[in-house]
A and B are shown apart, each in its own frame.
Chain A
Amino acid sequence: MPPVNKNELSRRLVVRIVGDSGQGIQMLGKLFSEAVADEGLRLGTMPDFPAEIRAPVGTLSGLSGFQIQLGTTEVYTAGGAADVLVVMNAAALKKNLPHLKPGGILIINSDGFNRRFLKLAGYAEDEDPVADIEKAGTYEIITAPITKLTHKALADEKLPMKARDRHQNMFVLGLLAFLFNQNLDLLESRLREKFSRRPEMTSRNIKVLRAGYHFGETAELIQRPVGSFHPTTPPENAQYIFGNLATAYGLMAASARSGRPLFMATYPITPASDIGHILARLQEAGVITIQMEDEIAAIGAVMGAAYGGSLAVTATSGPGLDLMEEAIGLAVSVELPLVIIDVQRAGPSTGMPTKPEQADLLAALWGRHGEAPLPVLAPATPDDAFFITYEAAHIALEFLTPVIVLSDALIANSARLWTPPHLDDLPPISIPWWDPKSSAVYQPYRRNEKGVRYWAVPGMPGSTHRIGGLEKEDLTGAVSYEGANHERMTRLRAEKIRHIQQTIPSARTEGGATSGPLIIVGWGSTYGAIREAVEHLEQTGFSVEHLHLRHLHPMPSGLDALLDGFETIIVPEHNAGQLAFLLQGRFLRKVCSITKVQGQPFTPEELSRKILEAAHACVKK
Chain B
Amino acid sequence: MREEVSHHHFTVKDLDSGQEVRWCPACGDYAILKQVKNILPELGYSQENIVFISGIGCSSRFPYYIETYGFHSIHGRAPTLATGLKVTRPELSVWVITGDGDALAIGGNHFLHVMRRNPDINILLFNNQIYGLTKGQVSPTSPVDQHTPTTPRGSIDRPLAPLAVALGAGATFAARTIDRLQNHMADTFRAADRHRGTALVEIYQHCVVFNDEAFQAIYDKNTREENIVLLEAGQPLFFGKNNEKAICLEEGKPRVVARNDCETGRLWIHDPTDIGKALLLARFEDPAFQESTGSELPTPVGVLYQKEQTPYEVSIHGQLSRPYGPVTAETLERLMFPKKT
Q: A interface vs B, CB < 8 Å?
A: 237, 239, 249, 252-253, 255-256, 258-263, 265, 282-288, 290, 292-294, 296-310, 312, 326-327, 330, 334, 420, 423, 458-470, 478-479
Interface check B261, CB cutoff 8 A: no
Cα distance, A467 to B92, chains bound together (Å): 17
- Closest B-chain residue to A420, C-beta based? B336
Report whether B87 and A288 are in contact in the complex, using a CB–CB cutoff of 8 Å: yes
- Closest A-chain residue to B75, C-beta based? A326
Report whether A265 and B84 are in contact in the complex, using a CB–CB cutoff of 8 Å: yes
Residues of B with C-beta under 8 A to A420? 336-337
Report whether A301 and B332 are in contact in the complex, using a CB–CB cutoff of 8 Å: no
Which residues in window 50-74 of B have CB below 8 A to A?
A: 51, 53, 56, 63-64, 67-74
Report whether B73 and A308 are in contact in the complex, using a CB–CB cutoff of 8 Å: no
Interface check B47, CB cutoff 8 A: yes
Q: B interface vs A, CB < 8 Å?
A: 8, 17, 19, 46-49, 51, 53, 56, 63-64, 67-74, 77, 79-89, 91-92, 109-110, 112-113, 316, 319-329, 331-333, 335-340
Residues of B with C-beta under 8 A to A293? 109-110, 112-113
Given contacts A239-B338, A249-B335, A479-B64, contact A288 B329 (CB under 8 A): no
Report whether A300 and B19 are in contact in the complex, using a CB–CB cutoff of 8 Å: no
Cα distance, A273 to B33, chains bound together (Å): 42
Report whether A312 and B84 are in contact in the complex, using a CB–CB cutoff of 8 Å: yes
Cα distance, A303 to B85, chains bound together (Å): 8
Given contacts A237-B339, A288-B316, A464-B67, contact A308 B88 (CB under 8 A): yes
Report whether B85 and A304 are in contact in the complex, using a CB–CB cutoff of 8 Å: yes
Neighbour of B84 across the interface among A304, A334, A460, A478, CB < 8 A: A304
Residues of B with C-beta under 8 A to A467? 70-72
Report whether A297 and B89 are in contact in the complex, using a CB–CB cutoff of 8 Å: no
Neighbour of A308 across the interface among B89, B327, B329, CB < 8 A: B89
Nearest 4 Cβ contacts at the A-B interface: A300-B80, A468-B72, A304-B84, A301-B84
**Taking each of B74, B92, B112, B333, which has the highest tally of chain A beta carbons within 10 Å of its own beta carbon?**
B74
Report whether B332 and A256 are in contact in the complex, using a CB–CB cutoff of 8 Å: yes
Residues of A with C-beta under 8 A to B81? 300-301, 303-304, 307
Cα distance, A548 to B112, chains bound together (Å): 46
Residues of A with C-beta under 8 A to B19? 466, 478-479
Report whether B92 and A308 are in contact in the complex, using a CB–CB cutoff of 8 Å: yes
Report whether B87 and A305 are in contact in the complex, using a CB–CB cutoff of 8 Å: yes
**Taking each of B87, B113, B333, which has the highest tally of chain A beta carbons within 10 Å of its own beta carbon?**
B87
Report whether B336 and A330 are in contact in the complex, using a CB–CB cutoff of 8 Å: no
Report whether A465 and B8 are in contact in the complex, using a CB–CB cutoff of 8 Å: no
Residues of A with C-beta under 8 A to B333? 423
- Closest A-chain residue to B338, C-beta based? A239
In the assembled complex, how far is the CB of residue B103 from the closest CB belonging to chain A, in whole angstroms? 14
Given contacts A256-B327, A478-B19, contact A461 B80 (CB under 8 A): no
Report whether A305 and B85 are in contact in the complex, using a CB–CB cutoff of 8 Å: yes
Report whether A255 and B88 are in contact in the complex, using a CB–CB cutoff of 8 Å: no
Report whether A287 and B327 are in contact in the complex, using a CB–CB cutoff of 8 Å: yes
Cα distance, A351 to B316, chains bound together (Å): 35
Residues of A with C-beta under 8 A to B82? 304
In the assembled complex, how far is the CB of residue A279 from the closest CB belonging to chain B, in whole angstroms? 10
Report whether A255 and B48 are in contact in the complex, using a CB–CB cutoff of 8 Å: no
Given contacts A293-B110, A301-B87, A479-B64, contact A253 B332 (CB under 8 A): yes
Report whether A469 and B48 are in contact in the complex, using a CB–CB cutoff of 8 Å: no
Neighbour of A458 across the interface among B69, B83, B332, CB < 8 A: B69
Neighbour of B77 across the interface among A249, A297, A470, CB < 8 A: A297
Neighbour of A468 across the interface among B68, B71, B88, CB < 8 A: B71
Residues of B with C-beta under 8 A to A262? 326-327
Residues of A with C-beta under 8 A to B329? 256, 423
**Taking each of B46, B53, B84, B109, which has the highest tally of chain A beta carbons within 10 Å of its own beta carbon?**
B84
